[in-house]
Structure 1
Amino acid sequence: MSSIGRFGSAFSAVWLCAALVGCAVGPDYKTPDMAVPASWANAAKSAGPQPAQLADWWTSFGDATLSELIEEAVRKNLDVASAKAKIREARATRREKFGALAPTLEATASATANRSASGTMVSTQGSSGGTQAVSGANQSAAASNYSLFQGGFDASWELDIFGANYRSAEAATYSLQAAQEDLNDTLLTLIGDVAKYYVQARGYAARAALARQTAEAYRDTAVLARRKFEAGTTSAADAAKAEGQTYSAEADVASLDASYSEAVHRLGVLLGDGPEALVSRLSAKAAIPVPPASPRAGVPADILQSRPDVRKAERQLAEATAKIGKAEAALYPSVSLTGNISTTGLQLGELAKSSSIGFAIGPSLSLPLFNGGQLRAEVEVAEAQRDQYFVALRSTVLTALEDVENALVSLAQDRRRLDKLTASSRSYADAYELSRALYTAGGQSFLDVLDAERSLYTARDSLLQTQVSAATSYISLCKALGGGWNRPVDSSRPEIVDTHTGPHLRTRY
């Protein structure tokens, strides 16, 4: 065998092995190491490194209405529905990319009616008894009609020697996983928002009730001041100040009622309903939800697994890494194997019997030679995009750490503030009762009574605001630690089910 023949055989063997085993170009993804602290700076030292217990954390409030609203929001929220649709899109894209790894096979058939005409020689008998051929203008045309039937199969298979299709399928897999984490992140945000707006609504309702109660107390004080003024024991200024304080409290009622309505309207939209959907349902009075003891914060490394936004960012980095290999594979040759088989007959019944059969099979090679640097530029674009996703992952991790630390500080300080304001409210209540009694007996000025009333109202209102703040900080901490929806969510059912999608008459143009 000649050297050229041996080289050709070796080359063929190499290509055959590469086609059967397969390879890939570009970087293989590895989960990057994220530097995180060993412990939380603001967590209670007695908590230890135990992982956070976040399953259905909202039920720890003991508020049945809140739990019902969250269950409904998970089923009906529009952002959740959109995230489900993105998962279905990612699944279909993944099937499409994996389909490119397999051979394709198409069936073909045709039927044609044909007409052909051919020149014929017309024979004539001469006087000598010989035969003469007449051509040119004396030639006649004989026409024939026939039908031609053909059927066959076309097949092709891109061998994907350098892994372009493999990298595309790999990227699609990561994209699907990122879409699933996006749904988890949407659920985490939704649950936190429903809990937050519910607590705020209860807080606004409680503060509005306090403002109404205080306005009535101010009104009684104003009536008392008016009577004393008419009796000549006090000044008109005292009566006017008492009435002004009453109007201020009534103005607070209007402002708090508006804020309450806005929170209720927001809850209705979060549940996928209209803004007014929950107005009557939440009209019954209820206390501000009281947060339980702080959940275990675990260690900072836990959030790398518990936070869906971190997991999503990591999957997006993996997807971008796989796309580098896809772009780089375009720099190398591509090999496809194509083939076809066909049968031809003059009658339809002959296709399976006495028809003529032909086939063709062979490889095709495509090698990029010159493209003005476009393919190399596409690789550099993919690498730059990968770097962007890596930076985004680092930023997401840092934001997650910040969220937890902030929530830990806020919750701890809100609890301390709550204790102080509870004691302050009791003291101001005692001071108000004493001032009113002394004023009635003539032993204290009216300004002291007004000041005691105003201080008591401010202390009680601050106490209610801090109760809301403490509950909100607890919600923020559970969100920051990655607490979300831990039950399965069906994302396979579409929002719109099309009917009559098969062949039908057009009705619109």
Structure 2
Amino acid sequence: MRNALPRVGAACLALMLAGCAVGPDYAGPPRLDMPAHWSAKSASRRQTGTLDRWWLRLRDPLLNRLIEQAVEANPDVAKAKAAVREARATIQQTSAGLFPSVSGTASATDNKASSGSASAVVDSAPYTLHQGSFDSSWELDLFGGTQRNIEAAVRGAQSAEEDLRDSLVTLIGDVAAYYVDARGYQARIALAQRTSVSQRDTEKLTRSKYDAGSGNAVDLAKATAQAASTEANVPTYQAALAADIHRLGILLGRPPDGVASSMARSAPVPASRMPLPTGLPADLLMSRPDVASAERKLAQATAKIGAAEADRYPAVSLTGSVGTSALRAGDLAKYSSVSWSVGPSVTVPVFDAGKRLATVRIAEAQRDQAFATFHSTLLTAFEDVENALVSLSQERVRATKLTEAAKNYREAAKLSRSLFETGSASFIDVLDAERSLYSAEDSLIQSKVSAAKDYIALAKALGGGWTDPVDVSTPIIIDTNTGPHSREALK
């Protein structure tokens, strides 16, 4: 028996030093069927370049400033930063399991003892007993359970960092989209106001003809109705513009009217002539933060299986204690008053009615759920890119046709008005030409907005966003006076 103990101890030490681990090892992102290229014709040739600060391609200085301010102050980004801090602290907390824990105690108690029978009780003199001790324990990670938990914590932190990047991608895309939408409504308001002025001029001309006896009441009523109908669009667009501006304020972490003054002056709808580098479908594994986060969560779930599996094996701990006691504090350090104990302990699971095995099965099922989530997220990423590519390509074709239509309707409206003034054309021709021109120009503005938003959607789908380092070390709330202090009355 004496010869066996050293061999067992040596075997345990060898296992610990060798880094023994149980459970499955994560072998990287699972291999899934991925398309070799994008199906959209516009992306048939791989575009090279980078998506860094893609919004600069829209060439709008105010948009650039709003995005930078949103990154600094948006509450969702602040929440994601706090999640990263939490995940990193979890690594530190879990890693502590690899090291011994040591605690110390000290006490001083007054004692008195009595002895004898009921008829004769003898009391000893009171005395003070001083005691001090240090206790330590260290659970050896023989089967890698702690290492698996650390592995899971590290992968959880990596997932949190990707979630932070995803929140930035979403935020930047949302700020850009609402900004473009707001500029579009400003352009539509200006168009409606210009058109209504022209239509009021037509109404005046029609009234003059009516007063002169060369017109009729029907034409006058139609002219008045068309101008009023166009003017009625302005309040609707104003309400939509206000909603977009309010949303921009919230995205920047401000009150709803926080950017109203910045957006008071109208500006053109942002547009870019530079194509985005679409890369290949396989690039989404690295470029899309939501895909990368889902893959890290899968790796984390795999590590948790090993942690659950390790709990089914024996646990070996080393415990030690050093204590001292004396009647006087000065005698505590004397050798004669010191006692100690040290030795290993082994805990072996014998029967738990399948509890530990069920924990492993739960972890395996959670790993499968993480895989399904990763697969679904990747497929959604493919869909987002394909949809954005098709929408952007077709919207550009539509914008070209609408530009041609607006040009011709503008010429038709000009000619029909001139002919009507000379009496060579009917008022119906003027009314129809003006109505068609307004509709074509309004549709053209909407098409420009849609093209810009499709461009933004493509950048988001490709994972483009903020690439500068993000400081996550500063908490949102900085506590003060956290040391020992008098407790104030609760409020």
Alignment check: 8 A CA contact 1:345 1:355 kept: no
Alignment check: 8 A CA contact 1:52 1:481 kept: no
2:449 is aligned with 1:452: no
Greater gyration radius: 1
Residue 458 of structure 1 aligns with an amino acid whose one-letter code is: S
Corresponding residue for residue 405 of structure 1: 386
Give the superposition deviation at 1:52: 4.4
Residue 91 of structure 2 aligns with an amino acid whose one-letter code is: R
Corresponding residue for residue 439 of structure 1: 420
Give the superposition deviation at 1:34: 3.0
| Aligned equivalent of 1:27, options 24, 29, 43 | 24
Q: List structure 1 segments (4+ residues) > 6 angstroms apart after TM superposition.
A: none
Give the superposition deviation at 1:15: 2.3
Alignment of 1:245-264 (within 5 A): 245-264=226-245
Alignment of 1:61-460 (within 5 A): 61-119=58-116, 137=119, 139=120, 141-353=122-334, 355-460=336-441
1:97–1:476 Cα change, 3 Å:
same
1:496–1:102 Cα change, 3 Å:
same
1:332–1:140 Cα change, 3 Å:
closer
Distance 1:112 1:5 in 2: 42
Q: State the percentage of identical aligned residues.
A: 51
Number of aligned residue pairs:
489
Distance 1:423 1:142 in 2: 115
Stretch moving more, 490-499 or 242-251: 242-251
1:55–1:142 Cα change, 3 Å:
closer
Give the superposition deviation at 1:161: 1.1
Q: Give the TM-score, by structure 1 length.
A: 0.93
Give the superposition deviation at 1:293: 2.4
Alignment check: 8 A CA contact 2:57 2:274 kept: no
Give the superposition deviation at 1:221: 1.1
The gaps in structure 1 that reach 5 residues or longer are 120-134
Alignment check: 8 A CA contact 2:112 2:123 kept: no
Distance 1:376 1:364 in 2: 23
Corresponding residue for residue 454 of structure 2: 473
Q: Give the TM-score, by structure 2 length.
A: 0.96
1:277–1:140 Cα change, 3 Å:
closer
Residue 406 of structure 2 aligns with an amino acid whose one-letter code is: S
Stretch moving more, 181-190 or 359-368: 359-368
Distance 1:94 1:12 in 2: 30
- 3-state SS in 1 of match to 2:10: helix
Residues 428-484 of structure 1 deviation map (CA, whole Å, 9 limit, x = unaligned)? 000000000111111111011000000000010011011111111111111111111
Alignment check: 8 A CA contact 2:81 2:472 kept: yes
Give the superposition deviation at 1:220: 1.3
Residues 85-130 of structure 1 deviation map (CA, whole Å, 9 limit, x = unaligned)? 10111111111000111111111111111112345xxxxxxxxxxx
Corresponding residue for residue 40 of structure 2: 42
1:167–1:140 Cα change, 3 Å:
closer
RMSD, aligned CA: 1.6
Residues 189-225 of structure 1 deviation map (CA, whole Å, 9 limit, x = unaligned)? 0000001110110000000100011111111111221
| Aligned equivalent of 2:466, options 458, 468, 485 | 485
Residue 261 of structure 2 aligns with an amino acid whose one-letter code is: S
Give the superposition deviation at 1:142: 4.2
- 3-state SS in 1 of match to 2:463: coil
- 3-state SS in 2 of match to 1:105: strand
